[in-house]
A and B are shown apart, each in its own frame.
Chain A
Amino acid sequence: MSAAAARRRLSRRRAWRLAFRYLAAVALTVVFLFPIYWLFSISLKTPDEIFASPPAWYPASIQFDNFKVLFKDGDATTVWNSLFIAGTSTALAMFLGTLCAYSLARFKTGGDNLAIWIISQRMIPPIVVVFPLFLLYVWLGWVDTYHGLILLYTAFNLPYVIWMMRGYIEDIPIELEESALVDGCTRWQVLVKVVFPMARTGLFATAVFTFVFAWNDFIFALVMTRSEVTTYPVQVTHYFGGQSNFWAKIAAMSVLGAAPVFVAVAFLQRYLVRGISMGAVKG
């Protein structure tokens, strides 16, 4: 076979394989995204469309009434609650956790034992701790309060922040800090002037994942709040009825809860692997 013919056969085979892979990729994406699409489409449909049988596959016209209802009824404030609680706990967890991570990374404080204990905290099933913590909170009077939930999320995000930031800090060449020390900085200054700026991408990525964990939590919010403080995941379950569900509200509230996360993912593509796998694979 001539060289040119051989090359043509090669590229044709390649093309088929690529086409097949694209087909599979698109099919997978459709299957995985369909439920999300459905959720979004219900949130935009009129009651007639929602309760049509056979179901309407797309809203005839996009209307935001379902969302408006949430805002009017005041249910949408739960989203603000979630934002406030998740945001504050993230800030707190990031600050304390990064400090701790620095100590672990540079000084190996507490050695392996401390590190292992910290990571094991992440493995504890919430159901085990939620009960005694509830009793503690009752005793402290922290049930159904903002600060109670914030502190709880902070505590449960700390292991993750410490673990991740330790990895990111270890990646920073130590010479930078040593040269700052030689130049006369105190340890605190080294932290603030050298470490934080160098680790800022890691800080950002970890912060977003921490936020998402707190944002999405259900069980702690369910147990620790009553009527004063409600986060959006709990609110969604209020719309489940015995026989009938407030579908439009379920969908609209879910969309409000899911949308910020999608935006975060768009920004964070590069850090997805490391954030989700907790550094098991350096991504």
Chain B
Amino acid sequence: MARLKITGLKKSYGATPAVRGVDLDIPEGEFTVLVGPSGCGKSTLLRTIAGLEDADEGTIEIDGEVVNAVRPRDRNIAMVFQNYALYPYMSVFENIAFGLRARKTPNAAVTTQVHQAAEMLGITALLARLPRELSGGQRQRVAIGRAIVREARLYLFDEPLSNLDAQLRDEMRGEIKRLHQEIGKTMIYVTHDQIEAMTLADRIVLLKDGLIEQQGAPLELFDRPATRFVAGFLGSPSMNFVPATLEQTGDTLVVIFADGTSLALPASRAAALAGRIGGEIIFGVRPEHISKAGNGVARDSHAPLNVTIDLVQPTGSRTYVIFQLGATAAVAELEVHDVERPGEHLTLLVDMNRVVIIDPKTDLVISHIGSAASAA
């Protein structure tokens, strides 16, 4: 179990900067997910922690020890690679045992530990096979087995599930979460998939262009995003962003869209938005926070919207509809039978408590559900 502290880390490849100044402080036993779009620097960050790359600037401390100059094999870490990196000419047993043998562990201990790890991952029956005889999911388990058998102090995962199909990915996600609960070590996990991030992380570190955009608990980033990027990255389908202006009608703050449609904001938001009246804003609302009127959900905080449905996309458990909000096409997630066909006219209800208001010039979120109580 180790505490990881990164200060001021920078790394460039030639003229291209990959990590532009990252500070992280991860306590023992925490499952941290580094997530972001391609090129955001998450893999570089992970590889620098592993020692496979050298940082240009900044320090990496594991358990208080500065490890910048320490070789990967001496850092006492374990890593699971995206393409599993299983040694093709060794059996599963030997693959898992490799690290133990490298450290001259006696044979009896090797056998016990390998079997232990294999049982934890349910691959005991595969120990005699060769990697090429295994399926993708099985290979991934072997790769994880190789990592956990060594009792390292820090575990690194580099997009381990990217090469698996959707169903397997769901299954393995659960396994990894269960694994962390069982062995409780500090784990750092890199992915571009926001669902993996949301379901696995104790803490999400969202990276963009080599810098941390926001970090915190998953729900924290989900409900209280700091920037437009964070708001749009998490959640599937992603949040709707519609340009609008903020006006005041009487005591109520109202969001007015390009086509004249208006939605009233709840009073709790007034304080935060006081200084923005008359200005341009970007209105953000998640598809799942829009419902069909008449489904018994009506509350004060829900504002009505009359729309014509342009497109209907049923998935079996939900139905996604696309309609015009202002000048933008917006998505709403409705119940299965709410809409039959495009062209229908419908009244939708928008949960105004959960909307997000963004400043179009800075792309910062100036009002979300959490900032209701405090001033901007």
Direct contact of A and B (CB under 8 A): yes
A residues apposed to B, CB below 8 Å: 1-3, 6-7, 9-10
- Tell me the complex Cα distance, A10–B66, Å: 13
The residue of chain B having its C-beta at the shortest distance from the C-beta of A7 within the complex is B68
**In B14-55, which residues have CB < 8 Å from any A CB?**
54
One of B58, B59, B68 near A10 (C-beta < 8 A):
B68
B69: chain A residues within 8 A (beta carbon): 1, 6-7, 9-10
A–B complex contacts, Cβ < 8 Å, 5 sampled: A1-B66, A1-B69, A3-B59, A3-B68, A6-B68
- Tell me the complex Cα distance, A6–B62, Å: 14
- Tell me the complex Cα distance, A1–B70, Å: 11
Check if A2 sits within 8 Å of B66, measured CB to CB.
Answer: yes
Check if A6 sits within 8 Å of B66, measured CB to CB.
Answer: yes
- Tell me the complex Cα distance, A55–B100, Å: 59
The residue of chain B having its C-beta at the shortest distance from the C-beta of A5 within the complex is B69
Main secondary structure of the interface of B (DSSP, over half): loop
Give B62-101 as 1s and 0s: 1 = Cβ < 8 Å from A's Cβ atoms.
0000111110000000000000000000000000000000
Check if A3 sits within 8 Å of B66, measured CB to CB.
Answer: yes
The residue of chain A having its C-beta at the shortest distance from the C-beta of B70 within the complex is A6
Name the 10 nearest CB pairs between A and B, nearest first. Answer: A6-B69, A3-B59, A10-B69, A6-B68, A9-B69, A3-B66, A3-B68, A6-B66, A7-B68, A1-B66
**Interface-central residue, A3, A9, A10, by most chain B CB under 10 Å:** A3
**Given A9-B69, A10-B68, A10-B69 in contact, is the A3-B58 Cβ separation under 8 Å?**
yes
The residue of chain A having its C-beta at the shortest distance from the C-beta of B69 within the complex is A6
- Tell me the complex Cα distance, A19–B59, Å: 27
- Tell me the complex Cα distance, A161–B67, Å: 54
B8 to chain A, nearest CB (A): 9
The residue of chain A having its C-beta at the shortest distance from the C-beta of B65 within the complex is A1
B123 to chain A, nearest CB (A): 34
B67: chain A residues within 8 A (beta carbon): 6
A1: chain B residues within 8 A (beta carbon): 66, 69
- Tell me the complex Cα distance, A3–B69, Å: 8
The residue of chain A having its C-beta at the shortest distance from the C-beta of B7 within the complex is A3
The residue of chain A having its C-beta at the shortest distance from the C-beta of B60 within the complex is A3
**Interface-central residue, B67, B69, B70, by most chain A CB under 10 Å:** B69
The residue of chain A having its C-beta at the shortest distance from the C-beta of B71 within the complex is A10
- Tell me the complex Cα distance, A270–B295, Å: 69
The residue of chain B having its C-beta at the shortest distance from the C-beta of A6 within the complex is B69
A171 to chain B, nearest CB (A): 23
Additional A-B contacts beyond A3-B59, A3-B66, A10-B54 (12; CB < 8 A): A1-B66, A2-B66, A3-B58, A6-B66, A6-B67, A6-B69, A6-B70, A7-B54, A7-B68, A7-B69, A9-B69, A10-B69
The residue of chain B having its C-beta at the shortest distance from the C-beta of A1 within the complex is B66
B339 to chain A, nearest CB (A): 42
B54: chain A residues within 8 A (beta carbon): 7, 10
The residue of chain A having its C-beta at the shortest distance from the C-beta of B59 within the complex is A3
A6: chain B residues within 8 A (beta carbon): 66-70
The residue of chain A having its C-beta at the shortest distance from the C-beta of B61 within the complex is A3
B65 to chain A, nearest CB (A): 9
A2: chain B residues within 8 A (beta carbon): 66
- Tell me the complex Cα distance, A150–B346, Å: 85
A34 to chain B, nearest CB (A): 37
A9: chain B residues within 8 A (beta carbon): 69
- Tell me the complex Cα distance, A1–B66, Å: 7
B313 to chain A, nearest CB (A): 32
The residue of chain A having its C-beta at the shortest distance from the C-beta of B67 within the complex is A6
A7: chain B residues within 8 A (beta carbon): 54, 68-69
